[in-house]
Amino acid sequence: MYRYFIFFVLAVTTFAASCGQTGKSPESKSRMKQPAVEVPLFNADSAYTYTAEQVAFGPRVPNTPAHVGCGNYLVSQLKRFGAAVFEQNVELTAYDGTLLKARNIIGSFQPENNNRIMLFAHWDSRPFSDRDPDPANYHTPIDGANDGAGACATLLEIARQIGQQQPAVGIDILFFDAEDWGVPDFDEKNQHISSWCLGSDFWARNPHKQNYTARYGILLDMVSAPNARFMKEGYSLQSAPDIVRKVWEAAQILGYGSYFVAANGSTIEDDHVHVIRHRRIPCIDIIQYDPETESGFGAYWHTQDDDMDHVSKKTLQATGQTVMYVIYHEKN
């Protein structure tokens, strides 16, 4: 068994230098010294397993047995890691009138702590493969290994780590449902309807605890593809520029600058938008964004190829360790 520690000696030197003071007495130097921050090691093997376990249920499309089974799995994992679990079961109406038996799942650590950070992802999978090269697949649901499972798996592994060693702040892990039931590309007449992010929109208007708030939120979406690139997303920069900076800096320090690139991406309609709008919590979206690909979200997005063959432990490690670095450095 091994652990690794990240010591923050640098902060002391930087602070002293920024004061422009030299020749301080030894006591005042030691008073400025910050205690070393210990960040547990994110285990990408475990995150990979949690991804595979979700995918093994089959596509987690609302109103299917796979969806019920995976929802139960997420609840039992959060409980196993010591979180207080809340559930919202609600019928939400999709763009075409389909009633979706949706389930938002929330796991809270230190629920009595008023200083909170929310980490969230969508756990449902898309009922369409409308970006698949073969139109015969348009009505086939996707495995959603990257689009859904990988991000939830990353949050499950973070939950497991928190269960073993608490950061100073309270953490809420939120798995939102019915994100990916948006109007498919082939349905031309319905393109104007806003149809994505139904679960997060419901939660943001009706949080599991009245007047719920948090210092900030971090959304993970599509964080497990090989060689993924995350650009600074537009709404994140508007809503929480300091959190974007903090997360990208953490990634640089950890050596993940090739994933968290120093570039601004476009604005993306995603779960964070609803949390920003209705709860007024500053949020960022860590989302694979590659303008070189046609969709912007990589070649496998909303195709049959979004499967376990295209999940990378290296990418899981980069995202998971970066988020852990940030939350374990927060003071209460």
Minimum gap (Å) between residue 114 Cβ and ligand AHN = 31
Of 143 and 221, the one with the shorter C-beta distance to ligand AHN is: 221
**Maximum alpha-carbon separation in the chain:** 75
Min CB(264)–ligand AHN separation in Å? 17
Which CB, 147 or 271, lies closer to Zn ion?
147
Write out the DSSP string of 81-105: TT-EEEEEEEEEE-TTSPEEEEEEE
> How many CB atoms within 10 Å of residue 74?
26
Instruction: Fill in the DSSP letter of residue 244.
Output: H
Q: 273 with 284: CB under 8 angstroms?
A: no
Nearer to ligand AHN, 157 or 306 (CB): 306
Q: Of 130, 180, 201, 290, which lies in the binding site for Zn ion, with binding defined by CB under 5 A? A: 180
Euclidean distance between CA atoms 244 and 255, whole angstroms:
17
Choose among ligand AHN, Zn ion, none what residue 270 binds, the Cβ cut-off being 5 to 8 Å by kind.
ligand AHN
8 Å CB contact between 315 and 227: yes
When CB distances are held under 5 to 8 angstroms depending on the partner's kind, the choice from Zn ion, ligand AHN, none that residue 196 binds is ligand AHN
Residue 221 contact partner, candidates Zn ion, ligand AHN, none, CB within 5 to 8 A by sort of partner: ligand AHN
Sheet containing strand 283-287, edge to edge, reads 84-93, 99-109, 170-176, 116-122, 216-221, 283-287
Question: For residue 51, which amino acid is it?
Answer: T
Give the number of residues in contact with Zn ion, rule: CB under 5 A.
Answer: 3
Which residue, 160 or 302, has its beta carbon nearer to Zn ion? 302
How far apart are alpha carbons 35 and 37 in whole angstroms? 6
Q: How far is the CB of 38 from ligand AHN (least distance, A)?
A: 34
Contact call for residue 143 and Zn ion (CB under 5 A) = no
How far apart are CB 301 and ligand AHN at their closest, in Å?
Answer: 7
Binding site for Zn ion (CB under 5 A): 126, 147, 180
